[in-house]
């Protein structure tokens, strides 16, 4: 099991590890969603219970985002890395102090939220939810608050591992989280109904925490009951928390508002927009988050140096890498939107009208996928510069614009959920524009002509991919594949998806896009890593042979 502790020495190798794990985690998440729909979409009352479950997720997740990520994402990794270079014991003491503070604040806040869960639910849903749905949301909210306590501790450990450039274990833990939810529903649904999902969330969060414990202990971390903020970097962290906290609070306000606007429409509109966003987020998780997450330790190292040229180069290279992968993903989702929705959520009890509406909403927001993926890196770039004020300014502007646009669409027009999706996509593009503006203002010349040319070339390749993908998709859909069957639907998706990617690669080569070399690098890295893994663990060959012989 030594390969789990391997150090990733470059952004690309780290991003590759995170991407592979995210693919597995995303697949587990899709299985989870499909399982939940198959269990809880059989009648109008069960559909309402399922919508209540989605709403119940919001408050516990918001607390986690505010209290945990509000501290950890702001500056913990850069500051932990800085202290570690000076003294490992002192760095681990800093981690212990931060963990204690987070757990105390989170537990106190969770208790208050549990007490006032019912009025909070009424405030978020207005008159759109029935009394039965309100009761379900309140109970599930209280259950899932427990899970966030495990997440708080788990994310501090993930940050420590990533600071040591160990990305494998933090990337595997979300897979176990989804597994816990699936196991909870599968085992407990006959007895607990919709509440089995809440218990499954707690099981998954505990597994997310548990897998990381032995690895941080092996690094040298020892937990201590201390709130000693005498370490200079801890005081610096406290100064950086308020802007980051306000940034996340503003973003979370937008998510809460999404539930209010969508539930106001009725007809399971929140289910439609929520799951359309879930599908849209997949390529962001696969490309934007991994490269952004993997870049943070490296950017933090470079930002501390006097010469900022290397930092600028890392930022522009990472931006191009994200765009190179996110653009074709957006095109695939745009063209294959209905097959994607059917494959993930198309259980027998999922209405066809809901499938079509979700596909339309997905198509509208798919155009913003590259923008949202790139923003993941830009946020971390500012954090590595220890600048949490600029992301706050950008977030306040975008959320204020979103609130005005969403309220106008919902209450003054008949665009409904599609209008809400359009506002979401437009706001994402606005957010990207603001981040790029402030980055160029902070580092003049960072976004030079070579960067702009690369972005334009990739946009051109994406455009030609969309043009040449649509026709074979329509022909294969109507003449070759019987898409009423799941396997043939999967065959249509894989076939047309492969055609689209080949077209994209062809035009990338024709336009001499440098990022095309990444594919060859990834294949070489996979081959090298496989050979190294087998060399270090020859027993894997024996295990494989034993499995085949069964």
Tens-place pLDDT, residues 170-188: 777 888 888 888 888 889 8
pLDDT for the residue numbered 302: 55
Of 427, 447, 467, the position where a domain reaches its end is: 447
154 and 298 fall within a common domain: yes
pLDDT for the residue numbered 287: 63
- Name the least confident of 102-111, 198-207, 341-350, 354-363: 341-350
14 and 160 fall within a common domain: yes
281 and 357 fall within a common domain: yes
CB atoms within 10 A of CB 114: 16
Q: List pLDDT tens digits, range 319-340.
A: 888 888 888 889 999 988 888 8
| Any domain includes 545 | no
* 266 torsion bin: left (phi>0), alpha (psi -120 to 50), beta (else): left
| Any domain includes 536 | no
Q: What is the average pLDDT score of the chain? A: 80
Into how many domains does the chain fold? 2
Of 429, 447, 465, the position where a domain reaches its end is: 447
* Site of tokens 């706001």: 427
325 and 252 fall within a common domain: yes
User: C-alpha distances in angstroms, 529 versus 11, 17, 298?
Assistant: 15, 11, 21
Q: List pLDDT tens digits, range 491-521.
A: 888 888 888 889 998 998 898 888 777 666 6
Q: List pLDDT tens digits, range 280-315.
A: 887 776 665 555 555 555 555 555 555 667 777 777
Structural contact between residues 71 and 102, judged by C-beta atoms closer than 8 angstroms:
yes
Structural contact between residues 368 and 279, judged by C-beta atoms closer than 8 angstroms:
no
| Any domain includes 283 | yes
pLDDT for the residue numbered 6: 53
- CA 143/CA 147 separation, integer angstroms: 8
pLDDT for the residue numbered 301: 57
| Any domain includes 81 | yes
What is the model's pTM?
Answer: 0.74
Q: What is the mean pLDDT of residues 112-140?
A: 88
212 and 68 fall within a common domain: yes
376 and 499 fall within a common domain: no
Of 419, 447, 475, the position where a domain reaches its end is: 447
Model confidence at 111, in pLDDT bands (50, 70, 90)?
very high
- CA 285/CA 274 separation, integer angstroms: 16
User: C-alpha distances in angstroms, 105 versus 67, 110, 111, 240?
Assistant: 8, 9, 10, 17
405 has pLDDT over 90 = yes
346 and 198 fall within a common domain: yes
537 has pLDDT over 50 = no
Q: What is the mean pLDDT of residues 104-118?
A: 89
| Any domain includes 441 | yes
143 and 206 fall within a common domain: yes
Model confidence at 114, in pLDDT bands (50, 70, 90)?
very high
187 and 302 fall within a common domain: yes
404 has pLDDT over 90 = yes
| Any domain includes 544 | no
Q: List pLDDT tens digits, range 128-137.
A: 788 898 999 9
240 and 358 fall within a common domain: yes
pLDDT for the residue numbered 540: 34
- Give the phi and the psi of residue 9 in degrees, each rounded to 5: -95, -10
| Any domain includes 260 | yes
Give the closest residue to 328 by CA, choosing from 369, 372, 277.
Answer: 369
* 221 torsion bin: left (phi>0), alpha (psi -120 to 50), beta (else): beta
Quote the domain boundaries for residue 484.
452-526
Containing H/E element for 201?
helix 195-210
* pLDDT above 70 as % of the chain: 83
Q: List pLDDT tens digits, range 217-245.
A: 887 777 777 777 777 777 777 777 777 77
Q: What is the mean pLDDT of residues 39-46?
A: 82
189 and 154 fall within a common domain: yes
CB atoms within 10 A of CB 252: 20
* pLDDT above 90 as % of the chain: 16
- Name the least confident of 21-35, 100-114, 197-211, 344-358: 21-35
487 and 355 fall within a common domain: no
Q: List pLDDT tens digits, range 469-482.
A: 888 888 887 777 77
| Any domain includes 461 | yes
Distance of alpha carbon 430 from its chain centroid, rounded? Answer: 20
- CA 35/CA 428 separation, integer angstroms: 30
Query: Using only C-alpha atoms, what is the Rg of the chain?
Result: 23
Beta strands of 112-251 (E only): which ranges? none
């Amino acid at each position: 099991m030594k390969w789990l502790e391997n150090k990733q020495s470059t952004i690309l190798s780290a991003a590759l590890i995170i991407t592979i794990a995210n693919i597995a985690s995303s697949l587990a998440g899709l299985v989870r969603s499909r399982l939940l729909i198959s269990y809880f979409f059989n009648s109008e009352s069960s559909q309402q219970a399922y919508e209540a479950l989605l709403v119940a997720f919001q408050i516990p997740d918001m607390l986690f985002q505010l209290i945990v990520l509000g501290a950890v994402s702001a500056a913990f990794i850069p500051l932990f890395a800085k202290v570690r270079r000076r003294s490992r014991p002192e760095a681990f003491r800093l981690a212990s102090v931060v963990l204690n503070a987070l757990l105390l604040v989170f537990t106190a806040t969770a208790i208050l939220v549990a007490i006032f869960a019912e009025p909070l639910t009424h405030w978020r849903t207005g008159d759109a939810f029935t009394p039965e749905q309100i009761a379900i949301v309140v109970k599930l909210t209280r259950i899932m608050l427990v899970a966030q306590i495990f997440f708080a501790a788990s994310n501090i450990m993930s940050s420590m591992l990533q600071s040591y450039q160990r990305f494998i274990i933090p990337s595997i833990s979300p897979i176990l989280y989804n597994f816990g939810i699936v196991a909870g529903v599968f085992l407990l649904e006959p007895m607990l109904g919709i509440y089995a999902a809440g218990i499954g969330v707690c099981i998954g969060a505990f597994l997310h925490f548990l897998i990381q414990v032995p690895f941080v202990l092996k690094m040298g971390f020892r937990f201590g009951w201390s709130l000693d903020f005498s370490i200079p970097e801890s005081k610096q962290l406290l100064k950086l928390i308020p802007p980051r906290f306000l940034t996340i609070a503003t973003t979370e306000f937008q998510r809460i508002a999404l539930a209010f606007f969508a539930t106001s429409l009725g007809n399971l509109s929140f289910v439609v927009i929520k799951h359309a966003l879930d599908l849209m987020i997949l390529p962001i998780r696969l490309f934007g988050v991994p490269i952004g997450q993997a870049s943070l330790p490296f950017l933090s190292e470079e930002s501390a140096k006097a010469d900022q040229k290397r930092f600028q180069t890392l930022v522009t290279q990472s931006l191009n890498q994200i765009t190179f992968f996110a653009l074709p993903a957006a095109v695939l989702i745009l063209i294959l939107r209905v097959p994607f929705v059917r494959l993930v959520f198309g259980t027998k009890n999922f209405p066809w009208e809901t499938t079509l509406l979700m596909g339309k909403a997905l198509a509208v927001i798919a155009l913003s996928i590259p923008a949202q993926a790139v923003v993941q890196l830009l946020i971390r770039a500012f954090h590595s510069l220890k600048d949490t004020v600029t992301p706050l300014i950008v977030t306040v502007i975008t959320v204020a614009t979103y609130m005005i646009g969403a309220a106008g669409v919902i209450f003054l027009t008949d665009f409904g959920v599609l209008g809400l999706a359009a506002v979401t996509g437009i706001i994402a593009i606005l957010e990207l524009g603001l981040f790029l503006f402030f980055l160029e203002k902070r580092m003049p010349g960072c976004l030079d002509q070579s960067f702009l040319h690369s972005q334009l070339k990739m946009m051109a390749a994406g455009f030609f991919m969309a043009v040449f993908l649509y026709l074979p998709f329509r022909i294969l859909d109507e003449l070759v594949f019987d898409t009423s069957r799941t396997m043939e639907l999967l065959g249509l998706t894989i076939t047309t998806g492969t055609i689209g990617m080949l077209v994209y690669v062809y035009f990338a080569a024709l336009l001499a896009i440098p990022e095309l070399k990444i594919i060859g690098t990834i294949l070489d890295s996979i081959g090298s890593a496989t050979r190294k893994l087998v060399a270090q663990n020859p027993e894997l060959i024996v295990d494989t042979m034993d499995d085949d012989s069964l």
